[in-house]
Amino acid sequence: MELKITGIVKELLPEQSGTGAKGNWRRREFILATESNYPKQICMVQWGDSIDKVEIGVGEKITASIDIASREHNGRWYTDVKAWKVEREPEHGLGVSASADKAAVGIGDPDDDMPF
């Protein structure tokens, strides 16, 4: 089952890194606010190379493919929402650039005498 959440990045927390039994590790958390009748703020974590695949910024609308996992430590349970894939949402609804929008409705460079 693939889980996806779309929302606005509200905060980027500082990247953390260290060395463990399996070698070096990196993680970055960010807060995603969902857009619905009852919006939620969700703390998500990215690990390792997934941090570098898409540079996200505060205020951007993204869709995150996630895994949810819980683990027990000393009688307490901890849950992570791991964003293993992050994609930016298109700015124009259909993913069409502004110049393509203009071309589609016949707006172009007035100095251009090309018929198309």
Rg of the chain over all Cα atoms, to the nearest angstrom: 20
> Which CATH homologous superfamily contains domain 3-104?
Nucleic acid-binding proteins (2.40.50.140)
What span, in angstroms and rounded, lies between the C-alpha atoms of 54 and 6? Answer: 15
pLDDT digits (tens, 9 = 90+) for 18-77: 998 989 999 999 999 999 899 999 999 999 989 989 889 999 999 999 999 999 999 999
Long-range contacts of 44-53 (CB under 8 A, 24+ apart): 44/5, 44/81, 44/82, 44/83, 45/80, 45/81, 45/82, 45/83, 46/82, 46/83, 46/84, 46/86, 47/82, 50/83, 50/84, 50/85, 50/86, 51/15, 51/26, 51/27, 53/85, 53/86
Domains of the chain: which residue ranges? Answer: 3-104
**pLDDT score, position 81:** 96
Q: How confident is the model at residue 85 (pLDDT cuts 50, 70, 90)?
A: very high
Q: How confident is the model at residue 90 (pLDDT cuts 50, 70, 90)?
A: confident
Least confident of 14-23, 56-65, 76-85, 106-115: 106-115
